[in-house]
Chain A
Amino acid sequence: MTTVANSVEQKKGFGATLWDWLTTVDHKKIGILYLIGGGFFFVLGGIEALMIRLQLLIPNNDFVSAGFFNELITMHGTTMIFLAAMPLLFGFMNFIMPLQIGARDVAFPFINSLGFWMFFLGGLFLNLSWFLDAAPDAGWTSYASLSIASPGHGIDFYAIGLQIAGAGTLMGGINFLITIINMRAPGMTYMRMPLFTWTTFIASALILFAFPPLTIGLFFLTFDRMFGANFFDHTMGGNTIIWEHIFWIFGHPEVYILILPAFGIFSEIFSTFSRKRLFGYSAMVFATVLIGFLGFMVWAHHMFTVGLGPTANAIFAVATMAIAVPTGVKIFNWLLTIWGGSIKITTPMLYALGFIPSFVMGGVTGVQQGAAPLDYQLHDSYFIVAHFHYVIVGGVVLGILAATHYWWPKMFGTMLSEKLGKVTFWFFFIGFHMTFFLQHFLGLMGMPRRVWTFMDGQGWNLFNAISTVGAILMGIATIVLIINIIITTAKNERIGNDPWEDGRTLEWAIPSPPPFYNFAQTPLVRGLDTYWIEKQEGHNGYTAAEPVTDIHMPNGSIIPFFMTLGLFIAGFGAMYRIEHSWGLAVLIFGLAFTFLMMAIRSVKDDLGFYVTKEQIRRMERGRN
């Protein structure tokens, strides 16, 4: 029996720390890695957004060139969806979900680490396009005729980078599913799971079924561009609409993959700070499942103007509008949770309150576009841009910011400043509405999306200028948040288990930050809002389901990083194979390296290690 990572409490040198983070399989550390990676790309995507808005500040502007503008909008969308929003949500899922169900780690810690590295190196690969060639410029949807014709390697970076990152996401999704199916603590039945865990569960199921089509679509694109295939080339019998179908069969569930976890975050926040049980818990669960199911039935509403015919358009229009029903159920349940509650206006609660009107507006414009005839008018206009920013920023980003303030104390053991938090909120909230509200009208006035610049005298000048000022306000909000994080970390004022004092779920019953084994004893769950029940009965902590026993923990490993590195190298080989003779060798080397790492993983036994009872007792005592 080996000893515990004596590592946990001691100071280490830089090299050892770096090695520790490269090899970690601890779901909490991987969660933090996801937040760092996602945060980095969020800032990057934000800078791209600001450049877009500065270009559109005045008519006939030439702040950036037209080609560069195309690269900016493509990379802004791709970065924000794949490399910022999803990884940030994955960070919270990774850190919080196992704590909420009383588990010591996810089902496959090794694959968890692999998933992170694939996301991060895939994202890095995509962004290296800025320096190595040209960035992709066919829009984040990368419609085939355009992307096949795009010169240079930009689209190749898109196809291969997203392939690597997407595979990582798929692994993460499967991992969360099994964690929730198999690793819930005794008594944690499905209908006692906190809403954030439920939404993680459903979002992961969507990932499992939505990402394989993306994988195939990206392979088709890769093969068409780099290996002489003809899927999308109509002169060779191909069909460009296939890309649109495949992309949106992935792409529409993707927006629910993003919004459902945000719904979960807000459900936790509403009930915590209203100090009430979530209203209509089972209806909330059912609505989540229903949204997930319907999410697969509506992809063609992105393609109304393609000409699929009135029958197909009608069916997809009805299915699209049907999604408003379960979403409405959720909105009313949140309102009724607040109703009559003992409300505490904290920063997370502010975000939650701001989310409801913002998201409802995005939802209403969504139903409008779901009406196929109206969509013919709105298609490809700024109305669409306004709509999807209202749901993604007004829903997902507000959710991520709320979760950052809400779970920060649990993750790092210090409390973000509430004062600065509220400053962040107001800058962001006002900036957000300033930027996007007027874009509805710009769309109705005829301004098409994805245009590099516009001419004077069309009545678009004022609204565009206001929109740009709003974007700058959001930028200021982000800077305030970063300052808040730096100040909080520097002050380092430690807090207890339940810093909000109203925590309801299991994660608040253990120290902040939790020890690496999470729960010294597996908890016994006696109902919904486990920790709330314990507190009402006067307990401080949770009821244990077992005596203190040896805890089995997984070993760290560098193999996930190396596996990903192989794919990263192979990506360059595949891309440069066309003009350089060394490309093929590099491609083969990279793939062989990855397969070798897989073989080592398969052949080498990895049984983990045990933390002994005595060590646990010692560490728990040291804490109290």
Chain B
Amino acid sequence: MDLNTKFTPQSWPDHPETATMEGKNKFVGFWLFLGGETILFATLFATYLALKNSVPDGNEFRTETLFELPLVFVMTMLLLTSSLTSVYAMYHMKNYNFKQMQVWLAITGFLGLGFLALEVYEFNHYIHLGFTYGNSAFSSAFYTLVGTHGLHVAVGLVWLTLLILRNAKRGLNLYNATKYYTFSLYWHFIDVVWVFIFTVVYLMGVVG
């Protein structure tokens, strides 16, 4: 594959992410990887549901009193919006508009960073209340599920930063188009997992 081939919006393929054999492999491979990730999170969700509010005698922490929906709502909005902005980025990628793509990806990154900052604040808040990782089986299950998601966001942000910086000078080609595209798949996946966390952990925790 020649990295120096210059494209125009006209000569740029409709599906640049799968235009090469390597691209096709990465594309299918990433979908399968996300399949495995789904099972991974499913296991965490199942464990959380089994251990929800399961605490030793005398422990006061319960989902109903602990969680505060306004904060989580803001986090949800940030992450959902970042998924939308990554769609805009992919729209520009398909139109061979490199600058616009980078801009929208940067916005995606900042929204993700905002989400992560709020999550750190949230965890920090709980820990100050005494709801530490080792407080109960419930706390372990909660932090492991939500924390694994948070770790995924953090890894995604590092990945995104490397992509933006690495390709800033040379623009789009068929080699990095797949990398951008798989990142957006990953980002959507993280978003979907968060929708489940928001529902199962927070909404069902406060309401249920």
Q: B-contacting residues of A (Cβ < 8 Å)?
A: 107-108, 170, 174-175, 177-178, 181-183, 208-209, 211-213, 215-217, 219-220, 223-224, 227-231, 233, 235-239, 242, 246, 249, 595, 599, 602-603, 605, 607
Contacts and interface: CB of A to CB of B under 8 A. Distances in A.
Contacts, number: 111
Contacts of B133: 227-229
Given A170-B36, A209-B39, A212-B36, A178 B29 contact: yes
A242 B54 CA distance: 13
B199 interface: no
B166 A246 contact: no
Interface string B113-154: 000000000000000000001101111110010000000000
A603 B166 contact: yes
Interface of B is mostly: helix
A242 B28 contact: no
A127 to B, nearest CB: 27
A213 B39 contact: yes
A206 to B, nearest CB: 11
A223 B136 CA distance: 13
B47 interface: yes
B56 interface: yes
A404 B174 CA distance: 42
A220 B24 CA distance: 35
B50 A208 contact: no
Interface string B165-208: 01000000001000100000000000000000000000000000
A212 B162 contact: no
Interface of B: 1, 3, 21, 24-25, 28-29, 32-33, 35-37, 39-40, 43-44, 47, 50-51, 54-56, 59, 133-134, 136-141, 144, 158-159, 162-163, 166, 175, 179
Interface of A is mostly: helix
A181 B25 CA distance: 9
Nearest to B143: A229
Contact of A212 (B37, B50, B138, B166): B37
A547 to B, nearest CB: 18
Given A237-B54, A237-B138, A178 B40 contact: no
A231 B141 contact: yes
Given A107-B25, A107-B29, A602 B54 contact: no
Contacts of B40: 212-213, 215-216
Given A229-B144, A230-B134, A231-B141, A208 B32 contact: yes
8 contacts: A108-B29, A174-B32, A178-B29, A212-B40, A231-B47, A237-B54, A237-B59, A239-B50
B136 A236 contact: yes
Contacts of B141: 231
A595 B32 CA distance: 22
Identify the interface centre among A220, A230, A242: most chain B CB within 10 Å of its CB.
A230
A605 B175 contact: yes
Contact of A230 (B43, B44, B140, B163): B140
Contact of B137 (A209, A219, A238): A238
Contacts of B179: 602
B25 A108 contact: yes
Given A229-B140, A230-B140, A602-B159, A237 B56 contact: yes
Contacts of B33: 174
Nearest to B139: A230
Given A178-B25, A223-B144, A242 B50 contact: yes
Nearest to A174: B32
Given A108-B29, A216-B44, A223-B140, 18 more contacts: A107-B25, A174-B36, A212-B36, A213-B39, A215-B40, A216-B40, A219-B144, A229-B134, A230-B134, A230-B139, A231-B141, A233-B137, A236-B56, A236-B136, A237-B137, A246-B43, A246-B47, A599-B162
Contacts of A236: 55-56, 134, 136-137
B39 A212 contact: yes
A603 B59 CA distance: 49
